[in-house]
Amino acid sequence: MRFLEGLCAASTLFIFVAASPVDLQPRAGNFIVHQTTPKPFKKSGPAAILSTYGKYNASAPEEVIKAATANDGKVSANPTLFDTEYLSPVNIGGQTLNLDFDTGSSDLWVYSSNLPTSQSNGHSVYNPTLSSTSKKLDGYTWEILYGDGSGASGDVGTDTVKIGTTTVTGQAVELADEISYQFKNDIDNDGILGLGFDSINTVVQPVRQKTFFSNAKASLSAPLFTANLKKGKPGCYTFGYVNAAEYTGSITYVPANSDNGFWEFTSNGYAVGTAAFRSFSFIANPDTGTTLVYLPDAIVRAYYGSVRGSGYNYAEGGYTYPCSANLPSLTIGIGTYRAVIPSSYITYAPVNSITCFGGIQSNNGLGTAVLGDIFLKSQFVVFQTSPLQLGFARKPL
């Protein structure tokens, strides 16, 4: 579940490299958000896969469902061994909640005081009666139903939302007053702040609502944000400008496609370890709210084919391997740029003392490749709406 730069005008028909990017320095309206709060638990491998299938409204393989329900769904998040995810503070009506910034969804929904205590234990909750700026939107409701059976729903209101130095008044806030047991058991965050496109916001009737970024971008120097996630420590999001100190070399931009509501682009291939780059076209979606990397079967098989003792583990619902295995890196082609996921980033979590669960899994049934946090922690990524494009660059790891 779960974290941008920009600039340069160019035709969206071409891939280009910003050799000398014009960095937009922070000024009034632009802001940076540092992740601060570590999530207390990390989902088990099968639970992480099941959650992704649910998010993309896809039917998970039967073995994934069985594996995810065969345990409590979580493993301890030791930041040294297994890495820890971090959340970002958001002020809503004077109340601070730790939200998961998610480029793969478009709702700002929160655990609210409308929930019974039994469903909100472990969370900070938003209470609209404690805010002088909150307003209920009569007749507005929201509902998220995922393919894994999980879901949440409730009423909709507006309030003043402040992130960093930027304030949006009248921002739609979706208040959870009913959640499924899957969400009840997930104490990772106090809600979600979606950074996808407005077309997939779930407040369909009577009027679909805009995301925080859609409402805030007019006040920014440029309509963009950047994600700089880190391994084992807090990263940051920057809105409205590109911080040259966060990346090295140049930024490669590629056209983005928002038709499905996601930040999608076309990758042109891959390489496993030091092997030659192989041309292979596929649609990919960099998603800060997803943990693992989901790729076409051909790429996944090629990767694990180079890992001794690895294989698809039906009992775990995904690819596993001996924790002692020597893993290769994985390179994703993005135009002329080669985005490398280091081998040390690829293990997600241990299954037991000898077997580890891979952070690279098949996207079979998802409809798109999903580049989750295991990829994003290795890259500096720009999300820009005008022109509609994504930028990728190396950064200090």
> 216 vs 161, 163, 171, 237, 240, CA distance in Å?
10, 10, 10, 14, 9
Distance of alpha carbon 195 from alpha carbon 2, whole angstroms: 11
Please state whether the peptide bond connecting residue 387 to the residue before it is cis, i.e. omega within 30 degrees of 0.
yes
Q: Which amino acid is at 320?
A: T
At 31, which amino acid appears? F
Task: Give strand pairing partners of 167.
Answer: 162
CA–CA separation, 119 and 260 (whole Å): 32
- Among 100, 188, 190, 287, which one carries the catalytic annotation? 287
Omega into 61 within 30° of 0, i.e. cis?
A: no
Place of tokens 């859609």: 214
Q: How many residues does the chain have?
A: 397
Give the pair of three-digit tokens for residue 91.
């002020």
- The half-sphere exposure of 25 on its side-chain side, counting CA atoms within 13 A, is 0
Active site residue 100: no
Contacts of 383 (CB under 8 A, 6+ apart): 4, 6, 103, 195, 224, 225, 226, 227, 256, 263, 286, 390
287 belongs to the catalytic site: yes
Is residue 104 within 8 A of residue 55, CB to CB? The reply is yes
- Dmax over CA atoms of the chain, in Å, equals 60
**Residue from 83, 100, 102, 148 carrying the catalytic annotation:** 102
Which amino acids are annotated catalytic?
A: 102, 287
